[in-house]
Amino acid sequence: MHHVVAIVQPPQSTFELACAAEVFGLDRPGLPARYTFGVCTERPGQVPTLAGYPILVTDGLEALDRADTVLVPGWLPVGEAPAPPVVEALRRAHARGARVASICSGAFVLAHAGLLDGRRATTHWASVDKFAARFPLVQVDRDVLYVDHGDVATSAGAGAGIDLCLHLVAVDQGAGYTAHIAQSMVMPPHREGGQLQYARPAPPSLIDGSLAPMLDWAAARLAEPLTVEDLAARFGVSPRTLARRFDEQLGISPGQWVLAQRVAAARELLESSDLPLDTIARRVGLSSATNLRRHFHHALGTTPGAYRRTFRTVSPGR
């Protein structure tokens, strides 16, 4: 039996904890039990949750000394460092050979413990900038659903915790065993793409009056050719000046910005229409379905067809 222990702290997210409990903590008919699941906390007793009700946790940090896998199912607020006893317990578990994994913001705890230094890791897309700034020794992967190094693993946002847990089961028990669990959960054993397909880019906050009209003008004309020279000439500046303003205010080049707007417009059409890919490609200025697929996959890690199946907001024919 493989013993999995989740470490929680107030206020605990019930969803991230439930992801782990659902995969590792249930007995399923027809499937031999190969995991035991427990929960511990620094101060045993009533642990408040984000859902408004407390959970009773009777085991303290010593439970981690008996775990084969230690899970950190989220950690809030992310700016709050874990207490030294928590850090020491995680380091001790890892040093003796336990696998240590995090779901969503739990990556902050693993990073505080130094378990991610010099390694790739991920966390929720809304927290990756804060994570990267706080832990410069960690190689942050912003797009993937999870990263697994064998001894240490991290997942993206909350739902990606299920992806990571199923992956860990597949590593331990094989694809057949994992498929049985996934089927009982009505989940795919493996999802396509990364987490950026679920993220909405935040509007830039540093755009001033010199650039905003240009962005509005270009965004309304994505189907037309939009070269750096075209944009610069339209607004009476040199291409070099235009590139400098984009870099200062958006951190990217004009060409990168135009491409990102075209991919974003394609996402909206895939979500809201049944238009063929060639038509969508022409409407957003990507010329062909082949070009759309290439740029879409590069930006979001998935195909337009898979994205539409996941995010289509209106059923075909309605």
Domain that holds residue 146: 2-198
> Average pLDDT for residues 113-128, to the nearest whole number?
93
- Residue 45 main-chain phi, psi, to 5 deg: 140, -150
Question: Which residues make Cβ contacts (< 8 Å) with residue 212, sequence separation at least 6?
Answer: none
| pTM higher than the cut 0.75 | no
Angle between helical axes of 254-272 and 304-311 (0-180°, round to 10)? 50
Is 205 domain-assigned? no
Q: How far apart are CA 16 and CA 71, in angstroms?
A: 10
Same domain, 134 and 265: no
If we measure between CA atoms, which residue out of 20, 6, 104 comes closest to residue 61?
6
Q: Which residue has the higher pLDDT, 121 or 198?
A: 121
**What per-residue confidence (pLDDT) applies to 297?**
84
**What per-residue confidence (pLDDT) applies to 190?**
56
Is 203 domain-assigned? no
Q: How far apart are CA 224 and CA 284, in angstroms?
A: 8
Same domain, 194 and 220: no
Same domain, 68 and 158: yes
Q: Which residue has the higher pLDDT, 14 or 158?
A: 14
If we measure between CA atoms, which residue out of 149, 259, 187 comes closest to residue 141?
149
Is 204 domain-assigned? no
Is 125 domain-assigned? yes
Identify the three-state secondary structure at position 36. strand
Q: Of 144, 166, 198, which residue is a domain's last?
A: 198
pLDDT in tens, 165-213: 998 998 998 888 888 888 888 666 655 544 444 444 545 544 555 677 8
- Any catalytic annotation for residue 104? yes
The CATH number for 121's domain is 3.40.50.880
Say whether pLDDT at 42 is over 80: yes
- Cα–Cα distance list, 64 to 37, 170, 212, 282 (Å): 12, 23, 53, 56
Is 103 domain-assigned? yes
**What per-residue confidence (pLDDT) applies to 277?**
93
**What per-residue confidence (pLDDT) applies to 209?**
59
Number of domains, the chain:
2
Cβ-contact 122, 144 below 8 angstroms: yes
- Going by pLDDT thresholds of 50, 70 and 90, the confidence category of residue 109 is very high
Say whether pLDDT at 10 is over 80: yes
